[in-house]
Amino acid sequence: MTSEPDMLPNVSSLPAWLVPSVYLNWSEDWLGEAVAIASRSHEHRLPGGADGPQRGDVVVTVVGSEPGIVAAVELMGASQGEDWVSDEVFGPDKPVVWDDLFNGAAAYARSSGWLPQEHARLVLDGIAHQYKHGATGTLDAGNCETDELSPNLHVLRLLGHKQVSGTDLRREERCASCERFVDVMQLNPHDDGAHTGQTGERPLAELIEQTFLVCAPCHALLHPHAVLSQRAQMRPACPSCGQRGATKRIVWGQAIHDNMKLEPDVVYGGFDTPVPTPDWYCPECYANFSSGAVAQRALGDVPEAVPVGVGAVGTPANGEDLWVPEV
């Protein structure tokens, strides 16, 4: 008896009593569920209850917006109360589009429940075919320039992380731009392929390769924006609290008078310059620091508390910050 994959029959040719029941689990929390599945986390939620799947049933989890992405296919194993344990998890390495499994799949969008037997056969056959021959679907990523990316592109990049990096997704990943570790729930997908003029629908594998996970400040820098916004984002992060995009430059040795046009996003330190001289002021934690303090920090180190030797006075009526060293 051969065990070659080509010799195995399709589910459609099996007798009804050999076809497992298939439960469609369409998750509304597409981001949390995609992260849980991609990171192999126990936070992945499976349906429970007396009317839910039992031992030997198959659960197909779909996440994202319409048409949705098949993120996991699980054969239900032993149960511990209502905390189901699946025998195997499929999906994160090769996500497929739900609508591509069979004609009429779109009718099940955003719903959960048991699939009719004829559709259960088509779902299992469609998933098996795409796992064997590769995903054949395409997807319109949306307009990255206006931050209107499809949730499905976000899901694809999370589920396809191992395809890109060779390792499972972690709860904290490096931003693809600044390389800081950021909670993966706060990373934004950036479609780099859009900058090469590739618009419209593209193959799933190509989309995954051309999509990067970046933090919010870096994502803002990758798109057209005002000069003031770019200047704020390019300023160093506070080494004390980690605040980024709000630090202000300190101007020393400049007199202030009523008719003076003040520079935006700076604070004025007066004529008494302390030694060492701080270059930056953080309005979030009221710390001051020099550019050298930022340059000397090793990537990934826990920031040490910065001594607060400078205090901010109340904001004047014109809205400008005045800053003087404490005596």
Q: Is the pLDDT of residue 294 over 70?
A: no
Give the pLDDT confidence score for residue 32 in this predicted structure: 94
Higher pLDDT, 66 or 32: 32
114, 133, 152 - which closes a domain: 133
- The rounded distance, in Å, linking the Cα atoms of 115 and 121 is 9
Position 46 scores a pLDDT of 82
Number of structural domains (the chain) is 3
pLDDT score at 171 = 92
Residue 79 has pLDDT above 80, yes or no: no
Reported pTM: 0.66
Q: Are residues 217 and 238 in the same domain?
A: no
Q: Looking at the structure, do residues 326 and 246 belong to the same domain, yes or no?
A: yes
**Rounded average pLDDT over 57-67:** 88
| Strand ranges, E, within the chain | 22-26, 58-63, 69-80, 83-90, 96-97, 113-114, 138-140, 142-143, 148-149, 172-174, 181-183, 188-191, 201-203, 211-214, 248-252, 266-270, 280-281, 288-289, 310-312, 323-325
Q: Kindly state whether residues 54 and 150 are assigned to the same domain.
A: no
pLDDT > 90? residue 21: no
Q: What is the pLDDT of residue 155?
A: 92
More confident residue, 178 or 66: 178
Q: Range with the lowest mean pLDDT among 98-112, 135-149, 180-194, 262-276?
A: 135-149
Residues 214 and 233 in one domain: no
CA distance 8 to 25: 27
Residue ending a domain, among 82, 112, 133, is 133
Are residues 241 and 156 part of one domain? no
Cα dihedral 184/188/193/195 (nearest 10): -140
Last residue of a domain, one of 221, 251, 270: 221
Question: Are 207 and 297 in the same domain?
Answer: no
Instruction: Give the rounded percent of residues in the chain with a pLDDT score beyond 90.
Output: 19
Residue 158 pLDDT greater than 90, yes or no: yes
Higher-confidence residue of 319 and 189: namely: 189
Domain containing residue 72 = 5-133
Q: Are residues 190 and 239 in the same domain?
A: no
CATH of residue 121: 3.10.590
Same domain for 69 and 35, yes or no, is: yes
DSSP sequence for 145-206? GGTEE-HHHHHHHHHTHHHHHSS---SEEE-TTT--EEEGGG-EEEEGGGGGT--SEEEHHH
pLDDT tens digit string along 216-257? 888 888 887 777 777 777 788 888 888 877 888 888 887 777
58 and 116 part of one domain: yes
pLDDT at position 319 is 52
**What does the pLDDT average to over 267-284?**
85
Are residues 80 and 162 both part of a single domain? no
Residue 322 pLDDT > 60, yes or no? no
User: How high is the pLDDT of residue 314?
Assistant: 45
Q: What's the chain's average pLDDT?
A: 77
Q: What is the mean pLDDT of residues 81-93?
A: 56
Residues 76 and 30 in one domain: yes
Q: Regarding predicted confidence, which is higher, 242 or 36?
A: 36
Torsion of CA 188, 105, 209, 43, to 10 degrees: 50
CB 40 within 8 Å of CB 138: no
- Supply the pLDDT for residue 19: 65
Domain match, 89 and 209 both? no
Cβ neighbours of 34 (radius 10 Å): 30
Q: Which residue has the higher pLDDT, 86 or 258?
A: 258
Confidence of residue 95 (pLDDT cuts 50, 70, 90): confident
- If pLDDT is split at 50, 70 and 90, which confidence band does 6 have? very low
